[in-house]
Amino acid sequence: MGDFFSEKIVTGEENKGIERADEYEKVIKVAVENQPGIKLERSQFFRYPNDMNTIASFVEERIQTGEKINLLEIGVGNMEELSSYLAAIKKVADKYGRNLKDLVNTELVELRAKGSVIPNFGLGKVMGVFINSDPELSKKAPPVKPPEDYKTSFYLDEDEGVNKFAPEIQAYIEGLVSDDTKAHFGRSIEDHLAIGQGQSDVVACNNVLQYLGGMGHTYQNPFNKGPEGADLTKFKKVVRDIAKMVKEGGLLIMHVDVKGGDRKGRGAENVLESIEGFTSAFDKVGPGIYRRKVGITQDVL
């Protein structure tokens, strides 16, 4: 990486104010502003802090009915996003004296092979959030703290000096990863859809749009200016089919951070809202989050 990283980010000069996992956003903003054109697509914990509250409220609403929610995550990185969602759900579980696994059933679809996805359970250090290039510096650095109000979802690993996701969350994810009926590794969402799929209460598909429907990694703003020769029909169909996987009353979460999108999720919003019938079938409940209306037939999409 360029000098900016080695001089400012790694030494902590620019990110010394970043102490909590939900503040990574600030580091990225600084990095992107100082090094235009840089691609930072690494998955982060609590990437969209607002999503956590929406998911927690959704689970809390559902807990009253006694039904478990089905969550589908498309494109998992190294589980940073799923761990963050589970940390939010655990808050609800704790409040009602329940276990995570009794509240949420998760499935995942991930293009990469099983062995190449290494669940990441540590929040890291205040310095070297992006690159731990200097192990000595890193050893001395303080641990990144969990977001406020998430205390029961984390513990401090004294040996490594980092805050980690609670054993219940780690065990949940490890159980999921080893269950081939739920964890579909080595499978694209396109292939998953082609097999014919049911619906889920929550479908999360973040920072995956840029890879879909043959857009390659050159995604700009697919509906306006996809890469030359891009097949937008194919792209639109995949996005529409993902939206169709959301049950009535369920949530669709879609953000995209690459050029053409923005960190408030509007890249994905532009794409979704351009799909015919989408706004008839979904209400927007927050940046990059939609709730499927009840009583609207599948045909509008």
Ligand X SMILES: C[S@@+](CC[C@H](N)C(=O)[O-])C[C@H]1O[C@@H](n2cnc3c(N)ncnc32)[C@H](O)[C@@H]1O
- List residues binding ligand X (CB under 6 A): 41, 43, 47, 74-77, 80-81, 109-112, 188-190, 206-208, 211-212
Tell me the H-state helices in the chain. Answer: 3-4, 24-34, 49-63, 80-95, 100-103, 135-140, 167-177, 189-195, 222-225, 232-244, 266-273, 278-281
Alpha-carbon torsion 5, 8, 11, 14, what sign?
A: negative
Closer of 58 and 85 to ligand X (Cβ): 85
Closer of 110 and 269 to ligand X (Cβ): 110
Q: How far is CA 22 from CA 26, 75, 149, 254, in A?
A: 9, 20, 12, 18
Closer of 12 and 288 to ligand X (Cβ): 288
Q: Write down the least CB distance from residue 118 to ligand X, Å.
A: 11
The enclosing H or E element of 256 equals none
Q: Write down the least CB distance from residue 133 to ligand X, Å.
A: 22
The token pair at 69 is 């929610």
Q: Write down the least CB distance from residue 5 to ligand X, Å.
A: 19
Q: Write down the least CB distance from residue 40 to ligand X, Å.
A: 10
Q: Write down the least CB distance from residue 72 to ligand X, Å.
A: 11
Closer of 48 and 63 to ligand X (Cβ): 48
> Whose CB is nearest to ligand X?
75
Q: Is 279 helix (H, G, I), strand (E, B) or coil?
A: helix
Contacts of 163 (CB under 8 A, 6+ apart): 21, 122, 123, 143, 144, 145, 146, 154, 155, 156, 157
* Of the candidates 55, 72, 292, 68, the residue with the CA atom closest to the CA atom of residue 193: 72
Q: Write down the least CB distance from residue 279 to ligand X, Å.
A: 24
Q: Write down the least CB distance from residue 76 to ligand X, Å.
A: 5
Closer of 8 and 255 to ligand X (Cβ): 255
The token pair at 141 is 């650095």
Q: Write down the least CB distance from residue 81 to ligand X, Å.
A: 4
Closer of 90 and 184 to ligand X (Cβ): 184
**Beta-ladder partners of 252:** 203, 290
* Of the candidates 79, 72, 34, 35, the residue with the CA atom closest to the CA atom of residue 55: 72
Closer of 63 and 123 to ligand X (Cβ): 123
Closer of 76 and 272 to ligand X (Cβ): 76
Q: At CA 99, angle to CA 149 and CA 170, rounded to 5?
A: 70
Contacts of 82 (CB under 8 A, 6+ apart): 73, 76, 106, 108, 173
